Every structure is written in structure tokens, then in C-alpha cells.
Amino acid sequence: MLSVIARRLSLSLATLLALAVFIFAATEIMPGDALDVILSSDEIASIPPERLAQMKRDLGLDRPALERLGSFLLNAVQGDFGRTLISKTPVADIIAYPMRNSLALALLVIAIAFPLAILVGIIGACWHRTPTDHVLATATIVGYSIPEFVIGTLLVLGFAVALPWFSATITVDTRAPVLELLKVSALPVATIVIGSVAYLSRILRVGMIEALSADNIERLRMTGVPPWRVVFRHALPSAVIPCLTAMALYAAALVSGLVVVELVFSIPGLGQELVRGVVRREVHVVQAIALACAVIVVTLNLAADLAVLALDPRARSQ
């Protein structure tokens, strides 16, 4: 058991290291460097070469790539992601509050989407091959076929413009208390929940159908255990456990969804910072956000696998 956990932990660490190297490589070894961001091509041509070399030294661009990779990793472990190229603000300061806001939103979405998805999955499985199941299955396809930014804008049109119940944009300050943000985030949360439920309930429905057709469930039914108890107490756990790993992959989809929704509703979160960073080619901001998301996704995957180990005796014996 311990060796299984140790192996799983080291795999996560290796994944994280590989992701960090990849993030560095994708942004730093590409054509063009930080100087191209700060200066236009005319400026580069007009500045004397000695001055240009000096600027390169200041940015650390004269060192070999491997050496820069090493210091990138060392600094990142200590929470230092460098400074922005233009304003020279520490990147860690820029992303701290937006990250908190995005995390709070993500947790709220998960807290709502998971129970809902389980419910929809169960209904689909219990009424398998009936009109109810077909309608739900069709609705889930529609649900994940509509882009999140379209769902978001349509919700704004419906519930902020046509029926003025909510505000179309979120005007909360970046550093405002989390609760204040969550209070006005009904529409953005609903946007991601719709897509998430469509995505997760599909996986759960398949797992539930398999679980319900197992022999032990049939036996429980025949011995007169109440149907709701069979479903929730016996079939659900064995359906959810194999789905946990697939559901952890949903974390990656959730991050993408958050980025889009933050832009639709102008939520002061990581997504806004990311897009701003890419447009301004602020390499260090993009690296830091990518690394933060990688940590979150890898941790969630690890948590899912450990949960499977804890809950499923079959996984432990392997």
C-alpha cells in the first residue's frame, strides 16, 4: 500500500517537473525574446549594439537556455516568478488575488456541478433506454455543444438584459472579500455548471448503467432492498469510484471554462490576467499562470487516484 502511494506521488512530481520544463520551453526557446516585447523592431535597429547587449544582460537573456531553465525552476519552487517586462512588478503580486478569486469560483462550481451531475447520471441510468433517458442524453449533447462564451452571453441576454435580475458585468474589486464576489457570480457560475453537468453526467451515466447491471445489485433487488437504497448505497459508490480518474481530467476543462467566463463577465480572475499576459506577450505572467494551473490539475489528479486507492480494495491489491 505504502509503496503504491509512494510510486503515485513520485509520478505526480515527475509530471509536474516535466510540465514546468515544457512551459519554460514553449515560451522561452521560441523565436523572438523579451527584447522584442519591450522594443519595436525600429528601436532595436536604432539602438547601439553595446546598449542592446547590456539590456540583454539585465534581462538575463545572455545566459544559456539550460541555465535559465534551472533558475526558473529554482525560483518557481520558492514562489518567485520574476517581474513583468514593462512595469517591473513582481508577477507573484499580480496573480495572487486573481488566483484566489478564480479558485473560489472553481470550488463553488464543483460544489454545485458534482451533485447535479450525479443526479442527472443516476436518472439517465435508472431510466435507461426510456424517453426520459433519451431526452436527458440529447440535452447533455446540446449542453456541451454550445460554447461556454455563448451560454454566458445568452444568460446575460436573458437574465440581465431582457429580465434585469442580475448585472451583466461584475464590478467587484480584485481584492474584495471572496464572499462579495461569489454573491454576484450567479450567472457566471450557472454558465460553467451547465457545461460541467453535461460533461460529467455523461461519464457517470455510463458508469451507473454498468454498476446497476452487476450481479450483486440484482441480488439486492431480489432480496427486497428498497430501490433508492440499492441505487444510492450500493450502486452509486461502485459507479463513482472508476469515474473519479476521468472526472479529475475535468479539472483541465474547468480551467478553460473559467478563463472564458471571466472574460464574458469581466471577473477579476486568473483568466483575465492570462489573456492580458498573452496579448502583451508578458512571458513571465503566462508562465506563472500556466504553472499554477498545472499544480492544481496534477494535485486534483493525485487526489482522485488516492481516493480510488482509499475507497476501492481492488485498486490496492494491484
Query: Given the rule CB under 8 A, which residues bind other proteins?
Result: 15, 18-19, 22-23, 26-32, 138, 141-142, 144-150, 153-154, 156-157, 161, 168, 199, 202-203, 205-206, 249-250, 252-256, 259-260, 263-264, 274-275, 277-279, 281, 283, 286, 289-290, 293-294, 297-298, 301
State which residue, 10 or 54, has the beta carbon closest to other proteins. Answer: 10
State which residue, 98 or 277, has the beta carbon closest to other proteins. Answer: 277
**Smallest gap from residue 221 Cβ to other proteins (A):** 25
92, burial (CB in 10 Å: exposed 0-12, middle 13-18, buried 19+): middle
**Smallest gap from residue 239 Cβ to other proteins (A):** 14
State which residue, 97 or 199, has the beta carbon closest to other proteins. Answer: 199
CA–CA distance, 29 with 7 (Å, rounded to integer): 32
**Smallest gap from residue 284 Cβ to other proteins (A):** 10
State which residue, 96 or 161, has the beta carbon closest to other proteins. Answer: 161
Among candidates 192, 118, 178, which has minimal Cα distance to 148?
192
Q: Quote the cell numbers at residue 317.
A: 491489491
Which residues are within 8 A (CB) of 155 and not within 5 positions of it... i.e. 6 or more apart? 187, 190, 191
State which residue, 108 or 289, has the beta carbon closest to other proteins. Answer: 289
**Smallest gap from residue 18 Cβ to other proteins (A):** 6
**Smallest gap from residue 280 Cβ to other proteins (A):** 9
